[in-house]
Amino acid sequence: MNKRKLGKTGLMVSEVGFGGEWLERHPEEESIELIRYAGTKGINIIDCWMPDPKSRDIIGKAIAGQRDQWYVQGHIGSTWQDGQYVRSRDMKYVKPAFEDLLTRIGGGYIDLGMIHYIDSVEEWNICMNTEFIDYVKQLHKDGIIRHIGLSTHNPRIGKMAVEAGFIEMILFSINPAFDMKPATEDLDSMFEGYDQNLSGIDPERAELYHLCEENNVGITVMKGFFGGRLFDAATSPFGTAFTPVQCIHYALTRPGVCSILCGYDTKEQVDAAVAYETAGEDEKDYASVIASAPLHSYMGQCTYCGHCKPCPMDIDIAMVNKFYDLAILQPSVPESLKSHYEALPHRAGECVGCQSCEERCPFGVKIAERMEKASELFGS
């Protein structure tokens, strides 16, 4: 299992992770065995947003004896009231709910203390201007949470989190369908209203990914399979089906992304996700699926899919495009970004304009032109 550094946290997390929200649907021992099986496959990060005792007990028991081998995303503000999940910032519920999480997970700490589920500016202001955020910061100061994270589905909130400075990583919803949707405070709308007027990655979402990469704020991914809708042409907004490996590759090729947390019911589903690590380029190819879809396309936009390879000058075109897209969002090119660009073994200025890459690009990107612009922007 390949691992990636999760931004400022420095944690080396598995590219494929474990989203725990389906655990309560199965007998406890069955779910415990499933988590342990995932661990044998190299998965080392698990999300526990769920406040119910059963889910938390399952995770705690599954990783007992191996606590230091797992990174747990534990959510602050996810509470259990009268047998129901309630998102709350009221400390009379928040504090006991987190203490319950800490007890059931074990070890005396949570690796990633997640400010739970903020999708609106109003909710952000509530969190950032009450004793809730003081509690989060005190937990971090005391070492009870090793790192501070935040979960959101709204790129505007994600951007605010990055700019806040103290948030080290975010849990964000990423898949090809969501990426076409503009920012919203209503999660349900993300699953509805897809039509042929939508095409390509929404600019605010693209900006968030680049902003995270620039500021070393790692992203872990939720809802990477669009609730399973992408696996069936009848429910996919694209009118064509994707495979788990293609969805995983899509998420992992977004700038800033370190791990995609998949939901599992069975060991076979774990195997299907982990198969990403040994899949060939043809199996990972999401770009051809999108480009040939009867309903949507990302025409003219680089999705960093790598179809442009090989380059006769051995330029890493996708990486140059990532740096270029990130740079043009800034009033001037940051020195840190320029140094990353200059570290590339072959740069945009070496492009000979043969345009063979453009013949292979599924989205009709004018690559030679972008190489010229990148060379001019970076000065080489």
- Mean pLDDT, 10 residues at a time, the chain of 380 residues: 96 96 86 96 96 94 95 95 90 97 95 94 92 97 97 93 96 89 66 59 89 95 88 85 94 95 91 95 89 74 77 88 79 78 88 88 86 88
CB 207 within 8 A of CB 329: yes
CB 239 within 8 A of CB 267: no
CA distances to 98, 178, 208, 367 from 160, rounded to whole Å, are 24, 19, 10, 32
Residue type, 354: C
309-316 LR contacts (CB < 8 Å, sep 24+): 309/357, 309/360, 311/346, 311/351, 311/357, 312/352, 312/354, 312/356, 313/346, 313/350, 313/351, 313/352, 314/345, 314/346, 315/344, 315/346, 315/347, 315/348, 315/350, 315/351, 315/371, 316/344, 316/345, 316/346
Residue 187 is predicted with a pLDDT of 61
Residues shown for the chain: 380
What's the rounded Cα separation, in Å, for the pair 205 and 351?
A: 29
Element (H, E) at 322: helix 317-327
Q: What global pTM score does this model have?
A: 0.84
What's the rounded Cα separation, in Å, for the pair 203 and 70?
A: 34
Residue 84 is predicted with a pLDDT of 86
Tokens of 186: 């209503």
CA distances to 53, 144, 209 from 108, rounded to whole Å, are 17, 7, 33
Residue type, 309: K
Longest dimension (CA), the chain: 67
Is the bond into 310 cis (omega within 30 degrees of 0)? yes
Residue 289 is predicted with a pLDDT of 85
Residue 91 is predicted with a pLDDT of 96
Residue type, 93: Y
Residue 232 is predicted with a pLDDT of 87
Tokens of 197: 């007027």
What's the rounded Cα separation, in Å, for the pair 180 and 198?
A: 6
Residue 280 is predicted with a pLDDT of 93
Residue type, 155: P
Residue 239 is predicted with a pLDDT of 85
Domain locations along the chain: 3-282, 317-378
Beta strands 3-5 and 12-14: pairing type? antiparallel
With CA atoms as reference, report the closest residue to 23 among 269, 266, 268: 266
Residue 164 is predicted with a pLDDT of 95
CB 150 within 8 A of CB 49: no
Residue 63 is predicted with a pLDDT of 96
Fold topology of 3-282:
TIM Barrel (3.20.20)
Residue 160 is predicted with a pLDDT of 95
With CA atoms as reference, report the closest residue to 290 among 245, 246, 260, 322: 246
